[in-house]
Amino acid sequence: MARPYTAERPVEYPAKPKAIRSKKGLTNLPKGPNSLGGLLTLRFLSDTPKFLLDLQNKYGDTASFFLGGELFIAFFGPEGVTDVLVKKQHSFVKGVGFERMHKVLGKGLLTNEEPVHLRHRRMMQPPFHHGQLNDYALNMRSITKDHIANWQLGQEVSANEEMMRLTFQIVARLLFSTDIDKYAEGVQHHMGVAIDRIERTMLPGLDRFDESPLPYFKKFKESAEYLADVAEDIISERVASGTHGTDLLGLLLDARDDENQALSHDDVRDETLTLILSGHETTANVMTWALSYLRDRDDLWEKLKQEAEQYLPDNSPPEIRQILSAPTAKAICQEALRLAPPVWVSPRRAIEDIEVAGVFVPKGAHVLVSQYASHRNKNFFPNPDKFQPERWANDFEDSLPRSAYFPFLAGTRKCLGDQFALLEAHIILLEMARTKRPKPIDAKLPVAEPRATFRPKGGVPSLVVG
């Protein structure tokens, strides 16, 4: 058995190309900032989303720069994003950040490369089909109701922690039929450490310190080991129970590919880890941001309350199409995902020379697309920094060019859980509107802590209001 932290890069993956360390022979690179003797790296590290947004504002749809001595090319415009994520996706593998994510998630769906990725994706898709999601809606609603029932009016809670616990419970019960109360605190803590260390060290080359005795890196390893232990426990308990069941874990244990091959123990553990982590942190963050943006929008809470009666009536089984068409809930989710996309940058690496939106990208270049920056493009989103769910009225999304808005990505690496996430986000919003919700105490928006996900900093202290 190989643990994710120390596992070797699978041999089936495309070979990792050498980084580009000089401009020599590259006459047509897009414009971009100079390295400024390392100052650029400091600017990049101190606030990466802002760094990327500044590049977009200054250089337009594409920019190039050197970080840690290696060439990066960023694509912000819809054409470049579509090329990288969809039309020419096979010329790229996942980039910086993902290499370190491997140490936590192993070779699960999020971090895997072809040809392994597609083989696993096919096996894991059934629990995310529409029919199955309809069945989940009932449980999502009852877990949400139970969670909200624990809040007392006037009580002080941490909006962030509440959303984390709720979405963790939903994912654990629906996909793993596990009651995770005993793991909740440990997972929150260690996932926080792991996520912090993954993206803060997005700079190429820093992973060579991962085995160093420095506490900062030691904690990264400890957290990765703890999370792998939890996944192994969940699997051992299921195997010991003698039944595999029909949830995602049962499916992983029973899955066979076209050649009748089962997933190995390590594969099942890594997919379990991936689903637990990618399946709740993202949704929790966007819900906390939504609560913050909605702090003073009683008008929208009133509309949501009316929608709760119409689209999620208490006296009939919830229906996915109906829930997802609640217009105010939908617009709030779209706008929160625009301004605070949980996945705010998707780094890639070119594995061959390729042209992207008319720009020559040499093999080995780091390529970045950024939801955070592209979603603030003034050409498509007037008043880009303002939270305005109203902008999504009249099928606004359909009027946007392809890949101007891509919170769940696109192409074969598109989020597997997009409908799952939207369904639970709508249910949580509508149920809170019907009963009670955490209202952030601070009138100012939380400060962002952009790591592997776009987290709000701190717990976002809130009062429960009705």
Which residues make up the interface to ligand HEM (CB under 6 A)? 109-110, 121, 171, 274-275, 278-279, 282-283, 286, 342-343, 346, 407-409, 413, 415-417, 420-421
Q: How many CB atoms lie within 10 A of CB 261?
A: 10
The structure tokens listed for 12 are: 């089936």
User: Nearest distance from residue 278's CB to ligand HEM, in Å?
Assistant: 4
Q: How far is the CB of 154 from ligand HEM (least distance, A)?
A: 30
**Those residues with Cβ within 8 angstroms of residue 75's Cβ, 6 or more apart along the chain or in another chain:** 61, 62, 81, 83, 84, 356, 357, 359, 367, 368, 369
Tokens for 206, please give them: 């820093």
Residue 212: Cβ within 10 Å count: 11
Question: At closest approach, how far in Å is the CB of 283 from ligand HEM?
Answer: 4
Tell me the residue number closest to ligand HEM, measured at CB.
417
Rounded Cα distance, 406 and 82, in Å: 10
Nearest to 95 by CA among 409, 352, 346: 346
d(CA 419, CA 83): 24
Which residue, 109 or 329, is less far from ligand HEM as judged by CB?
109
Nearer to ligand HEM, 224 or 340 (CB): 340
Give whichever of 217 and 408 is closer to ligand HEM, judged by the CB atom: 408
In angstroms and rounded to an integer, the radius of gyration of the C-alpha atoms of the chain is 22
**Minimum Å distance from CB 332 to ligand HEM?**
12
Closest distance of CB 275 from ligand HEM, Å: 6
Euclidean distance between CA atoms 123 and 114, whole angstroms: 14
Question: C-beta of 412: minimal distance to ligand HEM in Å?
Answer: 7
Give least dist CB 288 to ligand HEM, A.
11
Query: Which CB atom, from 381 or from 408, has the smaller least distance to ligand HEM?
Result: 408
User: Is 84 or 312 the residue whose CB approaches ligand HEM more closely?
Assistant: 84
Cβ pair 104, 198 in contact under 8 A = yes
Nearer to ligand HEM, 105 or 354 (CB): 105
Residues 209, 174: Cα–Cα separation, whole Å: 38
Instruction: Choose between 304 and 409: whose C-beta lies nearer to ligand HEM.
Output: 409
Dig out the tokens for 329 from the structure.
């809930």
Separation CA 179–CA 164 (nearest Å): 15
CB of 34 to ligand HEM, least distance (A): 28
CA distance to 220, 276, 326, 459, per residue, from 409 (Å): 27, 19, 23, 27
Please state the closest distance from residue 383 (CB atom) to ligand HEM, in A.
22
Give the CA dihedral 455, 458, 459, 463, nearest 10 degrees: -110
Dihedral over alpha carbons 236, 241, 247, 250 (to 10 degrees): 60
Of 67 and 110, which has the nearer Cβ to ligand HEM?
Answer: 110
Residue number with CB closer to ligand HEM (29 or 270): 270
On whether the CB atoms of residues 78 and 402 are closer than 8 A, the answer is yes
Burial of 244 (0-12, 13-18, 19+ CB in 10 A): middle
Of 391 and 426, the one with the shorter C-beta distance to ligand HEM is: 426
Closest distance between ligand HEM and the C-beta of residue 173, in Å? 12
